[in-house]
Amino acid sequence: MMKKFRIVGLAFILLLGIFLFAVSIPVTSELVMEKVYDFEMKNKYRITELNEMYKGVPTEYEFGGSKIDIYRILKENESYKDPWDRVVVPAAIYITVDSLTQEVLKDYPVEIGQEGLNQYTHYISYWRVLDKKTDQESFVIVLQMNGAKDRMEDFIPIEELKYMAITIEEDGTLTKEPFTYKNKDKLQTKLIPPMYFGGAGYYTDDWNSYPVFYFPYLYPFLTTILGILFIYTAVKKLRKPV
């Protein structure tokens, strides 16, 4: 009878370990891969967002022999307050390089009373990217191409966000690369400015999400370890003759 109870108890521990491991390992794997990705990118590039923490960087900027600038045409008599009680006006925003228009963002909210890039919030960002291996630097303008409704009442799901990266090399070469939040390469991931959902991740956004007391140390890290320990202990004892 005792042997039967022992086997039943060990079988329960084994099943519990398998369950904990199965529900935890996918999340644990993504979190670990994200840290490896961060380490890889820090070794490969030096990436600087010029308007980080909304410093109010001017829209006019010179890089190499290229002159970047932004200007906007506001819609008259159409100001309103957004959900954060900020006064904004919809506008057509023109992104220019050497006086040539590269993109036009129509009906985008412009925050009144702000200077430089701050008036465009997260919809337009400037970046400098240095490739540490080649020592070549580039200037990147990142535009959010959708999700800027006139009244900004609804956030578009992040997986539907679309972007445009306008990259200018030191010799003046200009390239445009559209990408989405769902389908982005490793460098593009680092060029998405933080918003209401935190920063973007390549494998997972979980490291950048709002912290809760149990994540990620209780779940999934501790549950993964417990799952492995339960499986190991149960298998070892089940194999041991009574």
97 compared with 9, residue with greater pLDDT: 97
Question: Which pair of tokens denotes residue 145?
Answer: 């191409």
Share in percent of the chain as helix, strand, coil (round to 5): 35, 30, 35
Question: Which pair of tokens denotes residue 66?
Answer: 């290229």
User: pLDDT band at residue 241, thresholds of 50, 70 and 90?
Assistant: low
Q: Note the pLDDT of residue 150.
A: 47
148 compared with 230, residue with greater pLDDT: 230
Mean pLDDT of the region 118-131: 95
What is the SS3 assignment for 134-193? CCEEEEEEEEECCCCCCCCCCCCCHHHCEEEEEEEECCCCEEEEEEECCCCCHHHHHCCC
Question: Which pair of tokens denotes residue 233?
Answer: 């202990």
Complete DSSP assignment for 8-66: HHHHHHHHHHHHHHHHHHHHHHHHHHHHHHHHHHHHHEEEEETTTT-----S-EEETTE
Please tell me whether residue 127 adopts helix, strand or coil conformation.
Answer: strand
